Amino acid sequence: MLMGGMYIQSLQVSLQAEQQRYRQPWEDWEPVVTRCSNQIRQLQQGQDKYYTETQELQDRTGSEQIDRSLYHLGGLMLDTDD
């Protein structure tokens, strides 16, 4: 029976080593994944805000006016009257 106990103990040690082997990479990457997730969330919030503000602007000024203003890039107005 002593051999069976040693076998079980050996399996437990092996299992713990494998668990640690797979746990360590996640612990190394977890902060990176968290930071990326937060940045994605911020970008999505910014996108939602942009679309909301664009819709509000369209509602206030009419779609023709907002369509022309969307061509305004970095202080340059593109010629849309062809």
What are the pLDDT tens digits along the chain (82 aa)? 456 778 889 999 999 999 888 888 888 888 999 999 999 999 999 999 999 999 988 888 776 655 666 655 445 444 444 4
Query: For strand 72-73 and strand 76-77, is the pairing parallel, antiparallel, or unpaired?
Result: antiparallel
Q: What is the pLDDT of residue 5?
A: 79
- Residue 15's pLDDT is 92
CB atoms within 10 A of CB 70: 13
Who's near 77: CB < 8 A, 6+ residues apart? Answer: 71
What is the predicted pLDDT for the residue at 33?
A: 92
Among all chains, which residue has been given the structure tokens 């990479």?
A: 25
Tell if the pTM clears 0.85, that is, is over it.
Answer: no
